[in-house]
Amino acid sequence: MAINWFKYSSPSSFYPLAGKMIPVFMTLAIVLIMGGLYWGFFETPDVLSDQKQYYRIIYVHVASAWMAMWLYVVMVAWAVLGLIFNTRMSYMMASATAITGAIMTALSLWTGAFWGQTSWGTWWDWDPRMTSQLILLFLYIGYIALQSAIEDNRRSDRASAVLAMVGLAIVPVIYYSINCPDPNECASLHQESSLKRVESNILIAMLVVTAGFWMYCFAVILMRVRNIILLRESHTQWVERLEVKK
């Protein structure tokens, strides 16, 4: 029997579905993150001897940096769907994604600062990679702040969607800053992409942790969107029936 996916564009239909998916994604997140970190910390060789043991921070730093970029793309995608089809759920998903994306961006900057202090002798350097990542964090914060500043949900959703679309230009800048074909053109303390530098054993552990971060982000975004649904739909009968059941 075919599934009518369009019905889940309704908050009342998506709310119970999200509740069923959260435990699945969270379980996968725990298994993948714990498994990947164990493999990365205890089963991978000390191949980057010049960087000692602190290179293992890449398992968290790289995963959070990737999530920061991709979640911004996901946020913009939901916002665009909201603008095109005027679907409330799309805006709610964009709003929930923004907070998780901001946390991932902050985590990448925080772990990067520890890496920089031990590797380069400085907590921060205004190189292209770090600066563009910081701008990404400001875009996330700007999106969240704009939504909070406008009381009317419809206006705040549309205004923040436009801001998110404009800010999308930073994502290719971030990618180019770490994958620049000409090192002299993008002079930076930050080394080239980890995908080009590590052996397959370390790469597998890093990708497993990244998959775990994806699952964690899915679970947390669904938790947040359920809260947003309850807040925005508090006047509806189906939410009142939920409260009666509780």
Comparing C-alpha atoms, which of 98, 118, 100 is closest to residue 53? 118
Token pair belonging to 57: 């921070």
C-alpha–C-alpha distance, residues 243 and 230, integer Å: 10
pLDDT 10s digits, 3-61: 566 777 789 999 999 999 999 999 999 999 999 999 888 877 655 445 556 677 888 99
Q: Which residues of the chain have pLDDT under 50?
A: 1-2, 48-49
pLDDT score recorded for residue 91: 96
How far, in Å, are 77, 91, 158, 224 from residue 83 at the CA level?
Answer: 10, 8, 7, 21
Two tokens, residue 114: 């520890």
List CB contacts of 204: < 8 A, sequence separation 6 or more: 39
Token pair, residue 119, equals 């590797």
Q: Residue 12 and residue 68: Cα distance in Å, rounded?
A: 29
pLDDT digits (tens, 9 = 90+) for 82-91: 999 999 999 9
Q: Is 70 exposed, middle or buried (0-12, 13-18, 19+ CB in 10 A)?
A: middle
pLDDT of residue 180: 62
- pLDDT at position 217 is 98
3-state DSSP assignment of residue 183: coil
